[in-house]
Structures are given as C-alpha cells and as structure tokens.
Copies of this chain bind each other. A is one copy, B any other.
C-alpha cells in the first residue's frame, strides 16, 4: 500500500508556535526526515525512525521521503518555519516531478507553519504592515543577477523586503552587495531589522538605520527586514527598543 509524505512546518523554534495540526502529523509519522537540528526539535517516539541529515542534501532527503512513502511509510519531512517558504516543500515536488513515475500515486501534503519573517515582524511591531516581498539571497540556485534585479524592483516600488538566507560562510559578500543596492534607493534612516533565531534561547534582535548596517550583523539564522519609505519607529516610554511599523495607508492618510 502506498503511504504518505507530509512536509511539516515546525515554525521558528519556540514550541508554542508549533500548530496542533503539525503536532498531529509528527505524532503519527513512521519516519521523520530533515536537516539534523530540525529533526532534533521533535520529541523522540518509540518505533518512529529518524533520518537526520546535512543541510545541503535537500533533493536526497526529498527522494528518500518519496521512496519510503512508496513502500507504505507515513513520512514527515520537517522544515523550520513554513515548509513552502525557501524550505523543503519545493524540493519534494521537484523530486516528484523528475522521479519514479510510481511516486505520482503518493499522497503528498504540506502542513504550514509560522515563517521567520512573521515571527520577526511580530517581535518588533508590524513592519510588514504594507505590501512586502520575500527574497532569498542564496545564489546557489539562481544567478545573483536575478536576486539583484528583484531586490532593485522591490525597493524601487517601495515594498518592505524580507531577506532570507542573508549570509553564510560560502556566501559572504551577497548581503553587503544587497545593502548597497538598497542604499542607492532608500534613505539613510530606513529601519533595518536583524532578527536572529526568534523564539529560541539564542534570539537576538537589532534595529539599525540603513546608514549604519553591516553585513556582519547577520548570520545564517537571521532574517533581515528592510523597511519601506513609510516604515517608522515609535519610541517606548521606558526607552527600550522602539516599535517598528509600516502604516497600512500610503501617501496622505485618507
């Protein structure tokens, strides 16, 4: 009997952000597949097989999931955040499209989760309150020219922009290049949010004006949010980190 693959979003890390629907899938899976640290977030269960792997073998993981399901497994592929946003869901469908025709019989589902930019935005206020874009800065899978063209288009049209995968040891210069593109278009006071590991013990949040950003303020676990021209700060009475929000209206308040 053919089994099932569900690609499950674990949210950004705080277990209180894991949805009950995702918990149900994790509880009934025969096999858990994913990047090691994500598999490590799921409590162990007797009889459930765990297949943790390195970060760079997404297609291999996807094929393993489909193969196990073809043999009758109830397979959960785990992703941080939402599996449809720069994560495992697209990898599974890519493997399906180019893989064994018998895999087309497998029931494939996606269980959504809180993606990093939503948790980051919630933590500082409402910076995504207007129209916004999400761009992965990784050029492993697309040419840098495409990233740059999209970033320029988004900033020129005055979207708020969330940057995923901003920097890594293998991609050290892309975030700096991205800030350069932004600085040619947006003002120096534009709020930039660096939100690292939101909801986890090693969380770190900074809000910095564009004129003072440095690529070293981000790491692999950071999502960077670039404000629109209308994004603004509200100082708190106690002088703590200000709120950041983007008003829903644009131009003159009607």
A residues at B contact (CB < 8 Å) = 9, 11, 14-21, 24, 82-86, 89-94, 96-97, 104-105, 108-115, 118-119, 121-123, 125-136, 140-143, 146, 149-150, 153-154, 156-159, 232, 234-238, 243, 245-251, 254
Contacts and interface: CB of A to CB of B under 8 A. Distances in A.
B126 A90 contact: yes
Contact of A20 (B20, B90, B121): B20
Contacts of A21: 14, 16-17
B20 A84 contact: no
Contact of A16 (B9, B20, B146, B156): B20
B150 A118 contact: no
Nearest to A164: B131
A85 B245 CA distance: 11
Nearest to A249: B141
CB-based closest 4 A-B pairs: A90-B129, A142-B250, A153-B157, A89-B126
Given A11-B19, A129-B90, A135-B131, A150 B140 contact: no
A24 B16 contact: yes
